[in-house]
């Protein structure tokens, strides 16, 4: 296994790093304090081709691989989680689902403008009673001729007020046994009659981003907007989460790095008892742990990314990478705040924001508790992944780069 990044991957990483540092970071605190989405994120990422970074060129993307997607997410969350969330939802949960499950017509109609950044994409699975238990969703879809009539509400939807297109999941057969076979996936657009979105305020973290709800009241969705077949929605949702968890885990790697880099800088500048606090053993211990967590989390993400590039099933590997990286990002942020002392308790420095943001990632995209149960079942032999109903799309440089 080759751990060296290619020149192209490094160039993409440095491009996103510079964008985030130079164009987004200078005004980040203003929008974080306002609890409002940073207005420059979507235009900047679209203009520079980041929103379609790992979508084939023939579908409007840049044709990079899954490792590059992880590097992009790491760099964005190195500055703020709200920036990485854009990639998790737009690219991970929506565009990659279209690449895997969409018809050629759907790819041309939805994926191409999304990859180009002309349309912004969202994802609607979570409901008031359907978080860690997605099969319990209440949204319904009733077929009437050439349309489905959708009714329901989705909660905790990232980019709710900003996205143009949403993949949503609804019950087409509420009586189905087992229950998951009654779920179907659809692509809806914000301009459809009966669709409304609302933003939530007062979040602990990810304040410079949009999080809200989608309400659907008798929304007529054409049959050609159905993703996959009736009853395949649960499989589609879970495959989407494999991509979403990958991007969340990669972002958490960036959060750990942010805590590490900021702590190293501060430890060298801050003096107590006549010496830099970097000379104190307990400070060194904190920094050593952050370095360990960063290295291990990054390797787990790269392993999952390698499997994705091969087109191989990666549910277990992606889950453990997301679980470990997000848990360690919380620990790293706690250590960074402690290292900064009273200053860490103030938003004068970034570490308190890292902590607020990190806490969200151990909840969404499959909580740490859910990940523990899944990994235990894999280890005990209680859980074995079945063959995929729709094959993953492996990365092939020649094919992905060709028009």
Higher pLDDT: 389 or 233? It is 233
317 flagged as catalytic: no
Per-residue confidence at 112, pLDDT binned at 50, 70, 90?
Answer: very high
Return the exposure string of 93-131: e unless at least 16 CB atoms fall within 10 Å of the residue's CB, then b.
bbbbbbbbbbeeebbebbbbbbbbbebbbbbbbbbeebb
Pick the CATH number of 123-231 from 2.40.170.20, 1.10.3720.10, 3.40.190.10, 2.40.110.10: 2.40.110.10
From the candidates 77, 232, 352, 365, give the one annotated as an active-site residue.
365
Residue spans of the domains in the chain: they are: 7-120, 123-231, 235-401
| Helix, strand, coil distribution of the chain in percent, nearest 5 | 55, 15, 30
User: What pLDDT sits at residue 183?
Assistant: 98
The topology (CATH level 3) of 235-401 is: Butyryl-CoA Dehydrogenase, subunit A; domain 3 (1.20.140)
User: What's the distance, CA 102 to chain centroid?
Assistant: 20
CATH of domain 7-120: 1.10.540.10
The residue whose two tokens read 């979105």 is 197
pLDDT in tens, 264-292: 999 999 999 999 999 999 999 999 999 99
pLDDT in tens, 5-32: 999 999 999 999 999 999 999 999 999 9
User: What pLDDT sits at residue 3?
Assistant: 86
């Amino acid at each position: 296994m080759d751990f060296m990044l290619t020149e192209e991957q490094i160039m993409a990483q440095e491009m996103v790093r510079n964008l985030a540092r130079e164009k987004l970071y200078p005004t980040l605190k203003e929008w974080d304090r306002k609890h409002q989405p940073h207005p420059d994120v979507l235009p900047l990422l679209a203009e520079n081709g980041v929103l379609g970074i790992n979508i084939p060129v023939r579908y409007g993307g840049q044709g990079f691989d899954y490792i590059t997607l992880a590097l992009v997410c790491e760099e964005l969350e190195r500055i703020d989680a709200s920036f990485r969330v854009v990639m998790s939802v737009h690219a991970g949960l929506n565009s990659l689902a279209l690449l895997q499950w969409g018809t050629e017509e759907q790819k041309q109609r939805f994926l191409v403008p999304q990859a180009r950044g002309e349309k912004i994409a969202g994802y609607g699975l979570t409901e008031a009673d359907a978080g860690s238990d997605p099969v319990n969703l209440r949204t319904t879809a009733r077929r009437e001729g050439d349309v489905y009539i959708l009714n329901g509400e989705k909660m905790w939807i990232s980019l709710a007020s900003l996205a143009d297109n949403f993949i949503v999941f609804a019950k087409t057969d509420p009586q189905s046994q087992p229950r998951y076979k009654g779920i179907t996936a659809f692509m809806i657009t914000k301009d459809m009659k009966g669709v409304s979105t609302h933003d939530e305020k007062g979040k602990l973290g990810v304040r410079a981003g949009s999080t809200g709800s989608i309400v659907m009241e008798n929304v007529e969705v054409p049959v050609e907007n159905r993703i996959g077949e009736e009853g395949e929605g649960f499989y589609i949702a879970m495959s989407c989460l494999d991509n979403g968890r990958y991007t969340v885990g990669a972002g958490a790697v960036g959060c750990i790095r942010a805590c590490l880099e900021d702590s190293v800088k501060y430890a060298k500048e801050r003096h107590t008892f006549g010496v830099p606090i970097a000379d104190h053993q307990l400070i060194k211990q904190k920094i050593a742990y952050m370095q360990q967590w960063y290295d291990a989390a990054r390797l787990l993400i790269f392993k999952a990314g390698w499997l994705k590039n091969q087109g191989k099933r990666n549910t277990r590997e992606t889950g453990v990478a997301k679980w470990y990286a997000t848990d360690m990002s919380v620990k790293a942020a706690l250590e960074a705040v402690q290292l900064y002392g009273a200053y860490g308790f103030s938003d004068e420095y970034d570490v308190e924001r890292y902590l607020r943001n990190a806490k969200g990632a151990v909840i969404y995209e499959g909580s740490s508790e859910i990940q523990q149960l899944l990994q235990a079942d894999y280890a005990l032999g209680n859980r074995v992944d079945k063959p995929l109903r729709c094959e993953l799309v492996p990365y092939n440089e020649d094919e992905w780069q060709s028009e």
